[in-house]
Amino acid sequence: MTQRRVVITGAGTVNALAPDVKGTFAAMAEGRCGIGALDFADVERLTIRIGAQVRDFAPEVHFDKGKLSFFDRFTQFALVAARQAMAQAGLAREPGDPTRWGAIIGTAGGGNATVNEAYRAVYAEGKNRVHPFTVPRLMGNAAASHVSMEFGLMGPSFAVATACASSNHALGLAFQMIRSGMADGMLAGGAESMLNFGGLKAWEGLRVMSPDGCRPFAAGRNGMVQGEGAGIFVLESFESAQARGAEILAEIKGFAMTSDASDIVMPSREGAARAMRGALADAGITPEAIGYVNAHGTGTAANDKTEAAALADIFGDRLSQVPVSSTKAMHGHCIGATGAIELLACLMALNEGVIAPTLGYDAPDPDCPLDVVPGIARAARVETVMTNAFAFGGLNAVLILSKQ
């Protein structure tokens, strides 16, 4: 059976850097940091008080009041990003058969803000009831369902929950479905919003968060910094994009997912390398073809060291010649949405010839001998990119994209 080619024809985002793709590109190109003091109820009771929070997001501008009571913040982000992606793809709704289009949206926390509000009401405020739509708001598939409803997508739609790799898994599955002929088009990506007291309190407990900044691969790194937002993309077959005369932003060439099967939080060099190798094989290319790697690069001691070692396994002697940046120092670690937001850095490298920098690179770490594109974006001709996501729970997902 011949496999179909799969392309991206639309992109949308809401994140701490900007409420759209254009603004995010601009911020990434100028190396702007979206991390700042967190602002929400009870933040003073947290040890970690920084994050990449989406500011000035007014839900009532995007949604009418009746519908809004069904939308957790992560769903709101997903819907706004999906609308942007569909608009860029030139689609009011799916072209062709709606039963062959769907939505796969990654998320780790689902309606975490709704959970936080409900717990606050019953535990802190002593109330005996919560909003009646608490369940439909908090469920992990809420974003996927509302995206399917908004655009009338009647094919396969579901949520993917693989922690920090959720978006890459969602995009990879959408890619495979279109490639194999199971679907003609997909809205895929991720959405997350855990920047609230309860959400952050849980993360604090793990002692993996930095109190002062995200410095991926740097000697002075001391943990991750959380972000929030969404990234949603329109994926469709190359033929349908061509037939519509749609602008093609990139072709998805390969995808692989692996499991470490070893530890619930510690990453594995072998599992990460196997995912990268698998994606290269799926794309039918060798590591020499990769012109940029968007790293997982969380800024934790363990991830960055392990990822650098895995990258060395793949690129060997050529390692120092491959630009590898982590954009998490700008938009924060957006957990279930992070891979989708980082895919924007890949599109920028392919289409604008600009590689987003790694901010916070105070000094090199001998354990991470990478060209991290420190501080300032770099102009480069990039034909093919790789983007990594390695989740808690040892679940790895790697995508490879090329210029069309």
Partner 1 sequence: MRPDMQEKILSIIAREAAMEPTEVRPDMTLDELGLDSLGLVEMIFAIEETFGVSVPFNANEPTQSEFDISSVGSIVRAVERLISGPQAALA
Judged by the rule CB under 8 A, the positions of this chain that interact with partner 1 are 66, 69, 128-129, 131-133
**Amino acid, single-letter form, for residue 21:** V
Instruction: Report helix, strand or coil for 364.
Output: strand
Which residue number, 129 or 381, has a Cβ lying nearer to partner 1?
129
| Contact predicate 194/335, CB 8 Å | yes
Which residue number, 136 or 185, has a Cβ lying nearer to partner 1?
136
Task: Give residue 82's Cα distance to chain centre.
Answer: 14
Instruction: Report helix, strand or coil for 241.
Output: helix
Which residue number, 124 or 376, has a Cβ lying nearer to partner 1?
124
Distance in Å, CB of 61 to partner 1, minimum: 20
Distance in Å, CB of 118 to partner 1, minimum: 13
Task: Give residue 322's Cα distance to chain centre.
Answer: 22
Distance in Å, CB of 107 to partner 1, minimum: 23
Among 33, 146, 169, 296, the active-site one is: 296
Distance in Å, CB of 65 to partner 1, minimum: 9
Distance in Å, CB of 128 to partner 1, minimum: 7
Which residue number, 123 or 219, has a Cβ lying nearer to partner 1?
123
Q: Pick left, alpha or beta for residue 189 (phi over 0 → left; psi -120 to 50 → alpha; otherwise beta).
A: left
Tokens 């420190």, residue located: 374
Distance in Å, CB of 132 to partner 1, minimum: 4
Nearest Cα neighbor of 347 from 279, 278, 247 is 247
What is the C-alpha separation between 41 and 335, in angstroms, rounded? Answer: 21
Among 33, 146, 164, 334, the active-site one is: 164
Phi, psi of 195 (to 5 degrees): -85, 80
The reply to whether 164 belongs to the active site is yes
CA dihedral for 158, 163, 165, 167, sign (positive or negative) = positive
Phi, psi of 121 (to 5 degrees): -60, -50
What is the C-alpha separation between 95 and 134, in angstroms, rounded? Answer: 34
Which residue number, 134 or 176, has a Cβ lying nearer to partner 1?
134
Distance in Å, CB of 199 to partner 1, minimum: 24
Nearest Cα neighbor of 199 from 26, 73, 96, 25 is 73
Which residue number, 69 or 262, has a Cβ lying nearer to partner 1?
69
Which residue number, 130 or 285, has a Cβ lying nearer to partner 1?
130
Length of the chain: 404
What is the C-alpha separation between 157 and 187, in angstroms, rounded? Answer: 9
- DSSP assignment of 10-60: EEEEEESS-SSHHHHHHHHHHT----EE--STTGGG-S--EEBPPPS--HH
Positions marked catalytic? 164, 296, 333
